[in-house]
Amino acid sequence: MMLPTMHQQRGIVFQLVSTEIQPRTLETKLSNPVELEFLKQFKVGAESSTYKVEFEIDSDFGFPGAITVTNKYDKEIFLEGFSIDGVVDIVCNSWVQPEKIHPEDRVFFSNKAYLPCYTPAGLKELRKEELRLLRGNGKGVRKRCERVYDYDVYNDLGNPDKGRENMRPILGTTEYPSPRRCRTGRPPSITDKKCESCVNPSGETYVPRDEVFEGMRKKALDVEKLKGTTRNLIPFIRTCITKCGDFKQLSDVQQIYKRKHIHKMKPENVASTRWSLLMNMSRIRNNVEEHFKFNTPRIINGASGWCMKDEELGRQALAGINPLSIKRLEAFPPLSDLDPSIYGPQKSALKEEHIISHLDGMSVQKAIAEKKLFILDYHDVYIPFLNGMNVQEDRKAYATRTILFLTPLGTLKPIAIELSLPEGESSKQVLTPPMDATSHWLWQIAKAHVCSNDAGVHQLVHHWLRTHACMEPFIIATHRQLSVMHPIFKLLKPHLKHTLQINGLAREALINEGGIIESFFSPGKYSTQIISAAYKDWRFDMEALPADLIRRGVAEPDPTQPHGLRLLIEDYPYANDGLLMWFALENFVRTYVNYYYRDGKMVESDNELQAWYSEVINVGHADHANASWWWTLSTPSDLTSILTTFIWVVSVQHAAVNFGQYPLGGYVPMRSPHMKKLLPREGNPEYKEFMDDPEGYLLSCLPNLFETTKFLSVVNILSQHSPDEEYIGQRKDLSEWAGEPEIVEAFYKFSMDVKRVEKEIEKRNKDSKRRNRCGAGIPPYDLLIASSDPGVTCRGVPNSITI
C-alpha cells in the first residue's frame, strides 16, 4: 500500500463481498466493515507497507468475490492488492480517492475470471455499477482524480485564441474523419466554441487517474527531458550568435555526436610543464563538451562520407524505422488515385527509358511480371498539400515516387526518382542513378527529399495514426464495456497501459499547433490534414500482418510455406521476424479464446463483448462505422482475429516503428525531417551556388544546428525503454488467471515461443546471405527482439504503446 503524506488520521474502511446473495432479501452478502488506521503503523519514507486486517463473517458467508474500500483520509492512497491466504487474491494497483471527493465505495474484484453469464449472483450488480462509473455521464470538465473513460473528437489541436494562423481543423468530422480520443471536457476556446481550450500552462491533459505515469517511469522520462534541454543549450547559443546556425561542412554535423574514443587524462608528476597543464585543461573542456553530445546512431554506418548509399535507401525500406511503405509495382508508369476534377491530371513523368538500362536486361513488362519492381510512392500523400507546405518558412518539399529493383542478391536498388510539384506535368522531373559529378549531387539531393517524404509519412501515418490514434478507441472501449472480471479484459490489460497518457501528452506537444511534428517535419501546419486523409484509407482488418503484406503486394498466399505465405522479397527483416511473432501471438490468443468460448453462440450472447466491439466501431471509429470491411463478431475465430490484430499493433508493430527512431533515424543528413530547398535548376541563382559547393548546398537544405539537436532530443526520448518496462511474453502477475492452469500453461508456452523467436532473430543477424541485416557497416535488425535493457537499445517489444 503506497500513500502520500496525510494530515488527518482517520482510516480506510474495508468490507468483503460474497459471491452469494441472501436467499430471502436477494441482497449481496457482506462482512462486517473493518477500519484500518494504518498511519499509526506507517513508516515515514517507506514506498509501500503491508498491513493485516481481520474480518468477521457469518458461517454461511460463502466465497469472497470482491472487497469494497472507502478512503476516509484527505488524500488519495494507492492500493496494490489484498491476499486472503489460501482463499483468494485481489489485485488492485489503483488510486483510491478520498470519500469527500468520490463518495462511492471503490470495489475490487477477485482475480477469478467470469464471462457475464457466469457472474456469481453476489457480484452481478457490482459488476454493472463499476462499468457505469467508468463510463461517466459525458458531461463536465474531467478532473485529475477521476477515472472516467469517454470519447471526443480532436478539437484540441489548434489554438484559435492566438489567431487565425493558429487554428487547426477539427478531426472527427465529415470533412476531416478521424478516430476519437479520450474526452477531457475542457471549456471551449473564446474565439471558436467548437474548439476545446488549451491546457493551462500549470496543468496537464486529463487522462483517467490510473493511466498517469508514476514512479520509476516518470522519473526516467523527466531525466531524459532534462538531458535534452542541456544538449540544446550550446547549439542554441551558437545559433543566436551566428544568426544562422546552418551546417557549412560535414564535420559540423559530426560535432553533434560523441567520438568513439575519448582521451583519458593520465596522472601527471609534480614537475608537469605548463604545456601539459594546458593540455589537461583542454581535455577537461573536451570531456565536458563530450558529455553533452549525442550517442552515435547506428544509421551512420550506412553512410558513404555523409551521403546515403543507394543500397542503403533500399535496405531501410525493408529494415529501417519505416518498413511499412514499400509496395510492389503492379503498373508502369505508376497511377494516381487522386480525383482529377480536384487536383487535375496526375500523369506520371516516369518512362521506360528512365529505368530500362537498370533491369538486368529485362523489359519493364517482364520485370513487373517477375515481381522485381517495387515502389515508395508518396505522390498522393503530399500533392494535395504541397502548395501550402512550400510557402511555409524554410520548407520545400516534393511529392516523390521511387522505383526500386530487386537485385539477384535480394537487395533493393533505387533506379529512378520522380519529383512532383502540383503545377502539372511540366513541374515533374525524373532523376536516375548518376553518370557524372553533377548528376551525382543532384541524385543525392533527390534521395534526401525521398527520405524526408518517408520521415513525414512514417511519423504521421504509420506511427501516430495507425498505432497511437487508431488503437485509442479500443483502449477506451475496453475500460468502458468489459468488466475487469471479463477474461478478455484480463488478456488485454497489459496491452492497454500508458497509451492514453502518451496520447494526451502528444496532443499537448507533439501533434498540436506549433508542436514537435509541425516544427520539425515538412508538412508543418498541414500535418493534421494529412493524418485525416490517411485515415480515410485505414482498415482495421488490414492491420493484421499477413493481410498488410498481401495488400502491399510483397507477399502471396502459398500453402507450401510454413505459415501459408510467401514473401516476394525473401530477405525482408521486418516481415521475416514479424511473421514469427504474429503466428506465436495468434496461437496463444486462439488457445485463450477457445478456452472461454466453445462456440459462436457463446460469443454472440456475451453482452459485454458485443457492446465493446460495437462501441469501437460505432463510437470510437464512427467515421468508418458503415464500412463493410469490419470483421463480424460471431465466432471464436472472429474474436481471435480481432484480438490478435489489436495486440499486434500496440506491441510488435509499434515497436517496429518507434524504438529505432534515434538509432536508425538520428542522423539528419541521411534522414532529414524536412528540407529547405528544392533541386537547383539551371538558370536560377541557386544553381551557381550548387555548382561551386554541392556539399554545402546540400547541407543548406537540411535543418540547422539548433533544429537538429532539438529533433534529436525528441526522437531520443521517444526511443527510450523505461526501467520498469514489461515486454511481450512477460507478465508481472499471473495471479490474474488464478484457478486457470490451462491458461497459465498456454502463456508459458507463448513466452517460450517469444524466446525462441529472439534466438532465431539473433541467428538471422549473423547470416551473411541476409544482406539487408548482415554485412560490413550493416546494422543487425533487432527491433522485434522482445526483451531489452532500459534506455535506447534499438530492440525490445513492450506489451503496449509506450515509451
Q: Which helix (H) or strand (E) holds 400?
A: strand 399-406
Q: Is the dihedral of CA 108, 111, 117, 120 positive or negative?
A: negative
803 part of the active site: yes
Question: Phi and psi of 76, rounded to 5°?
Answer: -70, 155
CB atoms within 10 A of CB 93: 13
**Phi, psi for residue 377 in degrees, rounded to 5:** -115, 105
- Is position 445 annotated as part of the catalytic site? no
Of the candidates 654, 721, 765, 785, the residue annotated as catalytic is 654
| DSSP secondary structure letters along 244-292 | -----SHHHHHTTBPPS--PPPPPPPTT--HHHHHHHHHHHHHHHHHHT
Q: Are the C-beta atoms of residues 665 and 577 closer than 8 Å to each other?
A: no
- Of 175, 153, 113, 122, the residue nearest 15 (C-alpha): 122
Q: How far apart are CA 754 and CA 44, in angstroms?
A: 42
Question: Which is nearest to 157 in space by CA: 423, 419, 527?
Answer: 527
**Distance from C-alpha of 751 to C-alpha of 745, rounded to nearest angstrom:** 10
Torsion 558-563-567-570 (CA) sign: negative
CA distances from 152 to 115, 139, 196, 359, 464 (A): 29, 11, 10, 51, 17
As a whole number of angstroms, the distance between CA 721 and CA 719 comes to: 7
Find the DSSP H helices in 78-123: none
Q: How many CB atoms lie within 10 A of CB 424?
A: 12
Q: Are 249 and 699 in contact (CB under 8 A)?
A: yes
CB of 477 within 8 A of CB of 620?
Answer: yes
What is the residue-wise DSSP string for 520-550? HSTTGGGHHHHHHHHHTT--GGGGSHHHHHH
Note if 654 is an active site residue.
Answer: yes
Round to whole Å and give the CA distance between 470 and 462.
10
Residue of 8, 121, 134 lying closest to 71 (CA atoms): 8
Catalytic pick among 155, 453, 576, 658: 658
463 is catalytic: yes
- Quick check: is 354 catalytic? no
Catalytic residue among 379, 463, 479, 721: 463
468, 486, 495, 624: which one is catalytic?
Answer: 468
Task: Name the residues annotated as catalytic.
Answer: 463, 468, 654, 658, 803
